[in-house]
């Protein structure tokens, strides 16, 4: 029974991390296709 719970938790965690990775990848792609957004991000980093 415990093994099943661990397995389910692992799958949930893996899918969550994959979702986060895809989301970050989409944000990065959107930023790269929008130079103004990239400049704003760079300005925010320096301040």
pLDDT at residue 16, as a whole number: 92
Enter the tokens of residue 9.
Answer: 């938790």
User: Rounded to two decimals, what is the model's pTM?
Assistant: 0.49
- 38 neighbors 31 (Cβ within 8 angstroms): yes
pLDDT at residue 5, as a whole number: 94
- 37 neighbors 30 (Cβ within 8 angstroms): yes
pLDDT at residue 14, as a whole number: 93
- 32 neighbors 38 (Cβ within 8 angstroms): yes
pLDDT at residue 36, as a whole number: 66
Which residues are CB-neighbours of 32 under 8 A, at least 6 positions away?
38
Q: What is the largest CA-CA distance in the chain?
A: 53
Tell me the pLDDT tens digit for each residue of 1-47: 799 999 999 999 999 999 998 888 888 887 676 666 666 666 777 75
């Amino acid at each position: 029974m415990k093994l099943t719970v661990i397995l389910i938790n692992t799958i949930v965690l893996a899918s969550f991390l994959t979702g986060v990775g895809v989301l970050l990848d989409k944000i990065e792609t959107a930023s790269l296709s929008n130079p103004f957004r990239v400049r704003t991000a760079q300005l925010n980093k320096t301040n």
